[in-house]
Amino acid sequence: LGCKHRPAAILFWTARQRILAKPPIGEVKKDLTGFGDAWRAWYTGLMPEWRTSSSSPGRWPLLRNPPPGEPWSEVRKGERNGVLLLILSLSWW
């Protein structure tokens, strides 16, 4: 997944061997609100443009009705930096 807006706690964890038994909870707790804001910005940035409304940027929740044939190319990634990292990091919050 893309790195733009990726929370610092995720970068901290990925730089330290990605040990599942040692999530960066301390890093997350240092700035819980900041982690949440960064996580949401990261998630939103990974979504296709149609999910964010140009008339109301920052809208939450994101739009949910995909256009026909939407490929979801930015989030259909299964490697170690893929969607699992997104879900795993959400559990730290």
pTM score of the predicted model: 0.84
Long-range contacts at 69-76 (CB < 8 A, ≥ 24 apart): 72/48, 74/1, 74/2, 74/46, 74/47, 74/48, 75/1, 75/46, 75/47
Task: State what percent of residues in the chain have pLDDT above 70.
Answer: 94
How high is the mean pLDDT of the chain?
A: 88
User: pLDDT tier at 57 (50, 70, 90 boundaries)?
Assistant: low
Residue 5 is predicted with a pLDDT of 87
**Tokens 């929370």 belong to which residue?**
7
Which of 8-12, 57-61, 82-86 has the weakest average pLDDT? 57-61
